[in-house]
Amino acid sequence: MAQILVVDDEVGIRELLSEILADEGHDVVLAENATRARAARAAQRPDLVLLDIWMPDTDGITLLKEWSASGQLSMPVIMMSGHGTIDTAVEATRHGAMDFLEKPIALQKLLASVKRGLARQPVSVPAHLTLEAFARCAPLKDLKKRLEQVAARTPLLLIRSGAGSIAELAARSLQLPGRTWLDLGGQTAPLDLNALEAASGGVLFAAELGQLSRLQQKNLAFAVERIEKFGLRVVVASALAPEELVQDGWDEALLRRLFEVTLVPPTLADLRDEIPEIAGTILTHLVEGSEVPARRISTAALNALRTRTWPGGYAELRASIKSLALGALDEEIGAEEVAQLLHLAPATAGPLPLDLPLREAREAFERMYFEHHLQQEAGNMTRLAERTGLERTHLYRKLKQLGLQAGRRTDDAA
């Protein structure tokens, strides 16, 4: 039968649902919070999820949004709540839930909902990531809030960053479901009213104004003049100043309109400590979309990705993750594969960077030290705490500061 993941912080409800579903012949996996649910979803790939809304760490609606945005909502999800409202049910459905059950849950209603869910076709994985997928990355979460705040006031936005940045990631976040995405940089024919009518309510995007041809500049001007008429949203990006674009022949009136409202997103250099989380989300999306085989990235490999400068920005990072996953011979991608792909020296190959300021040199040493012991102890946090002489809470905080991923193996394996 099917494998069903039950997520609820109340042990009595978990046990009751487990007994009922097991009696029906299903294989049941239990999770008491969102953290456990994420791990279970990644490891087990359940056929259906029963998800409680009110949980102590992350609420069910937020987790549902996260799965949907990252491409992990490939299974039907039934929401549960003892304090549900019509608005809550509507919001859950809008973000991909197939049903909403109010506690206490009637047996027949539960079984009927599960039966309908298992009969449904698998949900398609979104073709592109948005900022919603990076809800646990604080700088990108803040960017999403600023983006939504600006977008509520104007349909025209310029992002001050160049090609390869997270500008497209931001622009994709403003695209409504079922609406058109039109990349002006790939448009080789003149836009006309019929094309704008077909794109009504959609997003027109340009990754770098400085790379647009004369025809593409005219297309952009044509769209901007009719932005309200067709309900369009125009998001463009550029690392160039208006004066530089004028020297390249751009119309000054159009540039004044484009540069009226601007937003500066963080670069990957600003997001250095978030690179492991971003890389993991990218890999998950690629795996769920069947673009790459199932793979995971080792702690050492994540740290190697973190120390990379990424001159090509987000686009280069995504391409590297895809290349690593396609080329890996084992399920786990190691640091040596990252070094080989990116032509990096292994982290332990050379001497300590003594030419750095003391603070940076100390951080580099600590990163190498903890990375070494993480590998030695196979990610077991109890043994790592004993080995390093640190209290567990301090140890977790230190690993987070250094951008290292805490071990995920259970301490029972010690």
Three-state SS for 354-400 is: CCCCHHHHHHHHHHHHHHHHHHHCCCCHHHHHHHHCCCHHHHHHHHH
For residue 218, the model assigns a pLDDT of: 96
Answer for the pair 307, 347: CB distance below 8 angstroms, yes or no.
yes
Q: Are strands 296-297 and 99-102 parallel, antiparallel or unpaired?
A: unpaired
Second-level CATH architecture of 272-342: Orthogonal Bundle (1.10)
Ranges of residues in the chain with a pLDDT under 70 are: 84-85, 123, 162-164, 344-356, 360, 375-379, 393, 400, 403-414
- pLDDT score recorded for residue 394: 72
| pLDDT value, residue 181 | 95
Amino acid at 217: Q
Q: What is the pLDDT of residue 353?
A: 60
Q: How many CB atoms lie within 10 A of CB 137?
A: 20
Q: Which residues of the chain form CATH 1.10.8.60?
A: 272-342
pLDDT for residue 349: 40
Residue 240 DSSP symbol: S
Cα distance between residue 229 and residue 56, in whole Å: 46
Instruction: Report the CATH fold assignment for 3-119.
Output: Rossmann fold (3.40.50)
What are the angstrom distances between the C-alpha of 410 and each of 14, 223, 274, 299, 406? 21, 56, 24, 16, 11
In the chain, ranges of CATH 1.10.10.60 domains = 358-413
Q: Indicate the pTM of the whole model.
A: 0.68
C-beta separation of 89 from 60 below 8 A: no
- Parts of the chain belonging to CATH 3.40.50.300: 136-263
Q: Which residues contact 295 (CB under 8 A, 6 or more apart)?
A: 283, 287, 324, 325, 328, 331, 332, 333
**Is CATH 1.10.10.60 what the domain over 358-413 is classified as, yes or no?**
yes
Chain region(s) in the chain for CATH 3.40.50.2300: 3-119
Instruction: Note the CATH number of domain 136-263.
Output: 3.40.50.300
Take residue 345 and report the two structure tokens written for it.
């020296």
pLDDT at site 408 = 43
